Amino acid sequence: MVKNIIIALKGFFMGAANVVPGVSGGTVALITGIYEEIIEALNSLMVKDTWNAFFHGEWRKFWKSIHGEFLLALAIGVILSVFTLAKLMTYTLANYPIQTWAFFFGLIIASSIIMFKGIKGWGAREVVFTIIGIALGIVVCTLSPTETPDGYWFLFICGAIAICTMILPGISGSFILVILSKYDYVMNAVADLDIPVLAVFGIGCVVGILAFSKFLHWLLGRYEKQTMLILLGFVLGSLIKVWPWSNEEAILKSQGFPEQPDLMIGSAAIWCLIGIAVVLGIEILGNKVAAKQKKS
């Protein structure tokens, strides 16, 4: 029971990371020491013997092979955090858009710095991969419309893409939703308990993680450095999407539509620094945990 509670708490922090653009759920999984078991559990869902056990009624074997107890505890923690923090995110985005996006901006900058530090042996090849990622991020953010369809088909795609970042340390699922212009929409759906929207998004998540988990696991195993370089560039190029003053309409609405809106540059700078401090604090904590594990 104690072990499952601890796993649920780790899931809570993972869920919190996935709600806030810029903090990677995969990074939190690495820091808390559950990343490898998540990968193993996801891979087991794509093994033929696992489903043979399920369809032949060997429930105990099936449950054990998919790390069922672990996944259940983790899922409870993730779901609790998502529903707890969604209302907070919708409130701050509506009333304090500049400060909220500045905070996200700081989170993403700090995450980029950590990703940069984690890549060893920089040379011309590494720079080229990073530039490709930057170009990709800029193109995606520039071409992606400020409004995207609210249809179930698009929500399904958003869920399938966003969930895959769970096993990619350094990039946030919420950040993907920001790029797809569906972050506010999904957070409002969670806060309002919009069951049809959540169901379609959830199904997309399940299909996405099952369809791509083995491919991503293979990609990271074979081309980890190249993948992380492109992701680093993508995150840097996508910063234009979270610029605190990019959504003028939201700023005007939050301030009661004044003739001259307050840009709140000082406040934005403070919240940007807070965002940077949060990610760096998580990184320092992770290094300490890793150091203790090595000693033990």
In this structure, are residues 264 and 98 in contact, taking their beta carbons and an 8 Å threshold? yes
194: DSSP letter: -
Is 42's pLDDT higher than 70? yes
Contacts of 80 (CB under 8 A, 6+ apart): 8, 11, 12, 15
DSSP 80-129: HHHHHHHHHHHHHHHH-HHHHHHHHHHHHHHHHHHHHHH--S--HHHHHH
Query: Per-residue pLDDT tens for 251-271?
Result: 888 888 888 888 899 999 999
Which whole number is the average pLDDT over 1-30?
A: 75
**What is residue 229's predicted lDDT score, i.e. its pLDDT?**
87
CA distance 92 to 27: 25
Q: What is the pTM of this model?
A: 0.69
| Composition of the chain by helix, strand, coil, percent to 5 | 80, 0, 20
Query: Per-residue pLDDT tens for 203-239?
Result: 998 888 877 777 776 777 788 788 888 878 887 887 8
Is 27's pLDDT higher than 70? no
Is 282's pLDDT higher than 80? no
238: DSSP letter: G
Query: Per-residue pLDDT tens for 166-217?
Result: 666 666 778 788 888 888 888 888 888 889 999 999 899 888 887 777 777 6
Per-residue pLDDT band for 13 (boundaries 50, 70, 90) equals confident
Name the more confident of 77 and 287.
77
Domains of the chain, by residue range, sit at: 2-295
